[in-house]
Chain A
Amino acid sequence: MLELDQIEIEQDGFRLCADLAVPRGQKTAVIGPSGAGKSTLLSAIAGFIAPCAGRILWEGRDITGLPPGQRPMSILFQDQNLFPHLSVARNVALGLRPDLKLSRLEWDRVDEALRRVGLTGLQDRKPGTLSGGQQSRVALARALIQARPLMLLDEPFSALGPALKTEMLDLVAGIADETEASVLMVSHDPADALRFASHTILVADGRALPPRDTGELLNDPPPALAAYLGK
C-alpha cells in the first residue's frame, strides 16, 4: 500500500496537500484541471520533489528520504523516456542494471520483454528510428523488466493518437497485472480514467483527494471537477 501521510508540497509559491492511501494492485487515475498539480504529486511520490511536511510510506516503510532510483517504483514521463544514443535493447536493459553489465540470461529477459510488447527484431535500432508508439513500447518493456510494485505514468501517451493510446493503456494494464503492480496514472481525459482505472484521485484547489470509485466520481463530480469537465 502507498500512503501519503499528510504531505505538503511547495513549489514556486504553489502548494499541494495530500493525505491518502492507494491499496496494492489498484489502478488509479489522477485527474484534475491543468496546473492543479497532478504531475507535481507524481514527482513527489517518485522522489524528484521533497515534500516540506509529511511522510511517504510504501508497505508501511518510510521512503520519504530515498533517492528516486532506489524507490520501489518505475516512472514513465511525458517525454524523454529513452536515451537516444542507446539501442532499444540497452534502453530496456537499463531497467535491470544501470551499468548494463548483463549476463546472457538477463539479455534473454530483455529479448523476452521486447517480444512481450511486440518489438521482436528491433533490439539494435536507436529510438530515433522508431515511431512514437514503438518508443512507448520500449519504455513499457523497461517498466516490465523493472517489475517494480508501483508504476507511475505521467501522461506518457499524450502524444499518441486515440487508438494507439488505448492500445498502450491495455498493454500497461496487462503488465501491471503480470507484475501485480499498482499504477498511478496522470490523465486529463476522463474516458481514459473510466477505461483504465477502478479508482481516481481528484487534484484540485491545492488538494489531492483520496481515491474514489472512478464511475461514481465522474457521475457525481464535485464542483471543481464539474467545472473542469464542463458539466
Chain B
Amino acid sequence: MASRAQPIEPWIRAAASIAAALVAILTLGTLAAVARRAEGLGGLGSADWAALRFTIMQAGLSAALSVALAVPVARALARRRFPLRRLLITALGAPFILPVIVAVLGILAVFGRSGIVNDILASVGLQRISIYGLWGVVLANVFFNLPFAVRLFLQGWAEIPAERFRLAASLGFSPRDVARHLEWPMLRSRAPGAFATIFLICLTSFAIALTLGGGPRATTIELAIYQAFRFDFDLGRAATLAALQLALCALTALAAARFTLPSGHGAGLDRTVWRWDADRWLSRITDGLVIVAAVAFLLTPLGAVIARGLPALGDLPAPVWKAAGRSLAVALISTGLTVAMALPMALALAARRPPRGLETIGMLPLATSSLVIGTGLFLMLRPVVSPSDLALPVTVAVNAVMALPFCLRVLVPPARELAGGFGRLADSLDMRGWARLQHLTLPRLRAPLGFAAGLTAALSMGDLGVIALFADQDSATLPLQLYRLMGAYRMDQAAGAAVLLLALSFALFCLFDRGARGHA
C-alpha cells in the first residue's frame, strides 16, 4: 500500500483525541467507577431481578410489536399515492426529537383513566382499562419506535427495483406472489436489525417507565437505579444495577452490530412505484384503513396535549418559565459541545486511515445509558463536590455525549464524500487549518452540521434522564418540571408546559436545521 494517506491535520487529530478522551471518561470512566462500587450480584434482591426480567420483557414486546405493526403500515405507504404522503413520511422522523414526557402526557390523554378511549369504553358500558404497568410502557415504546420501523421498511420497499414489480405484473403475480417473491425477502433481511435496534433503545427506557411504569411489577433497571439513588440512597445497589444495565446494553449492542442497518436518512423514501398487483379495491381499502389508523395512533395523543395545553400557556407558574430558560441553556451548551466533538471526530474518521478505535469510542454511548453515566459521575464527583451543585453541568455533559453517536452517523458519510470529492484539490492548493475549515469544510458540511445540531438541541431539550438523579428544587429542567406537575396532578399546567416544551424542541431543531440549509 503505497497510497499516501494524506496525514490528518494536526488540529483535527488533537481535537478528535480530546473529544475521544472526554467520551471515554464519561463512558468507560463512569463504568470503572460503577464497577468499583458495585457489590456483586449477591447484593441484588428479588425486586432487582424482577426489574431485569421486566426490562427485557418490555423491550422485547415493544420491539416485536413495533416491527410487526410497521410491516402493514410501510406496505400501505409504499404502494399508495395520496396528497400529503410526502409530509407524512417526513413526519415519521419526528418522534426522534419529540420529548418523551410530552408523548407520555399525550398517551395518557388518549388511553389514560379519563382519556378518550376510556370515555368511549365507559359510554358503551364497558370497563375502563388501566394504562399503568407493562402495557402502558409497551404502548409508549411502540408510539416512539413504530415510525422508526416504518421508515426502515419503507426504505426497503423503495430499494426493490421498479423493474421487478413490472416483471411480476407481466408474469401475472397476485399480491400473495409479490409478497412471497419480492417483499418477504426484503423484510426478512431488515426485520432482525430493526428489532435489535428498537430492543436496545427500549432497554434504556427511563422516562417512560418513570411515568407509566413503577411499582414492583413494572420497573425497568434504569428506573431501579433511579429509585435506589433517590429514595434509598443505596449507592452500592445503584452501582450494581448500573453494572447489570451496562452488561445488558453492551451485549445487545454487540448482537445488534451484527445486523447492518442502512442509515435512516436515505434518499428516495418518497419515490412511488406503480404497483399493478395492488390495483384492487380490497387492498385499496385495507391500505387506506391502515394508514388512517397509524396516523390516528400517532397524531391523536399530540393533538390532545396541544388542545389541552394551549389555553394553559398563559398562566404557567414562574418555575416553569425558569425551568424552560435552564433547559434552553442546557440544550444550547450541549449542542455546542457535541458539535465541537463530532466535527473533528467525523473529519478524522473520514480520513483514509482513521485513528484506530476512534469509531468504536464514538459509538460507546450507545452501549451505555444516561443513568449509568449519571451514577458513575455521582460516584466520581462526590468526594470533590456536592453533586447537586453540578446538576446542570453534568446534564450538559451527558446530553452532549449521548447525542454524539447520532451526530457522527449524520456527519461521517458527508465528511467522507467531502474528502473523496475535494480532498485532493484542497491538498494541491495547500489549504490547511482555519483556511480549509472556513472555505471548504464548514460551507460544504453546513447542512449535515445544522441537522446534527438540531437533533442534539432537541434531544437535549426534551431529555428527562440524568437530571432526575441530580436535580434539587432549584435546578429542574423543563421536562423534569413537567414531570413534577404531573406528579402533583396539575394536569392543565402540565399540558401547558408540554406545549411549551414541544414548541421549544421543534423550534430549536428547525432553527439549526433550516438555518443551516437556508444559506447553503
A-side residues, CB < 8 A to B, are 9-12, 46-52, 67-70, 74-75, 77, 80-81, 83, 85-86, 90, 94-95, 98-100
Contact = CB atoms under 8 A, between A and B. Distances in A.
A98 B427 contact: no
A94 B427 CA distance: 12
Q: Which 3 A-B pairs have the closest CB atoms?
A: A69-B430, A99-B435, A50-B4
A45 to B, nearest CB: 11
B443 A98 contact: no
B424 A68 contact: yes
Contacts of A52: 2
Given A10-B1, A11-B1, A99-B434, 19 more contacts: A48-B3, A48-B427, A49-B4, A51-B2, A67-B430, A75-B428, A77-B425, A80-B424, A80-B425, A83-B422, A85-B443, A86-B443, A94-B431, A94-B439, A98-B430, A98-B432, A98-B435, A99-B435, A99-B439
A49 B439 contact: no
Nearest to B442: A85
A50 B421 contact: no
B432 to A, nearest CB: 7
Nearest to B7: A67
Nearest to B440: A83
Given A48-B424, A80-B422, A86-B439, A98 B3 contact: no
Nearest to A142: B429
B429 A95 contact: yes
A100 B428 contact: no
Contacts of A69: 427-432
Contacts of B435: 98-100
Nearest to B425: A80
Nearest to B446: A85
Nearest to B436: A98
A69 B444 CA distance: 20
B350 to A, nearest CB: 16
Nearest to A99: B435
Contacts of A47: 4, 427
Interface in B427-462: 427-432, 434-436, 438-440, 443-444
B429 A46 contact: no
Given A11-B2, A49-B2, A49-B3, A74 B428 contact: yes
Contacts of B520: 85
A94 to B, nearest CB: 5
Contact of B427 (A68, A99, A100): A68
Contacts of B430: 67-70, 98
Q: Which one of B2, B4, B7, B431 has the highest number of Cβ atoms from chain A below 10 Å of its Cβ?
A: B2
A9 B364 CA distance: 39
A67 B427 CA distance: 8
Interface in B1-33: 1-4, 6-7
Interface residues of B, number: 25
Contacts of B428: 46, 68-69, 74-75
A87 B7 CA distance: 28
A189 B128 CA distance: 83
23 contacts: A9-B2, A10-B1, A11-B1, A48-B6, A48-B427, A67-B6, A67-B427, A67-B430, A69-B432, A77-B424, A80-B421, A80-B425, A83-B439, A83-B444, A85-B443, A85-B520, A94-B439, A98-B429, A98-B430, A98-B435, A98-B436, A99-B438, A100-B435
A95 to B, nearest CB: 7
Contact of A11 (B3, B429, B438, B439): B3
A86 to B, nearest CB: 7
Contacts of B4: 47-50
A120 to B, nearest CB: 23
Interface string B320-337: 000000000000000000
Q: Which of B427, B429, B443 has the most CB of A within 10 A?
A: B429
Interface in B151-173: none
A46 B2 CA distance: 14
Interface in B412-430: 421-422, 424-425, 427-430
Contacts of A11: 1-3
A68 B4 CA distance: 10
A68 to B, nearest CB: 4
B441 to A, nearest CB: 11
A94 B435 CA distance: 10
Given A11-B2, A49-B2, A83 B432 contact: no
A81 B431 CA distance: 14
Contacts of B422: 80, 83
Contacts of A68: 6, 424, 427-428, 430
A212 B6 CA distance: 33
A206 to B, nearest CB: 14
A86 B439 CA distance: 8
A54 to B, nearest CB: 11
Contacts of B7: 67
Contacts of B431: 69, 94, 98
Contacts of B421: 80
Contacts of A90: 439
Contacts of A83: 422, 425, 439-440, 444
Interface string B278-320: 0000000000000000000000000000000000000000000
A81 B427 CA distance: 12
Contacts of A77: 424-425
Contacts of A10: 1-2
A202 to B, nearest CB: 22
A99 B428 CA distance: 14
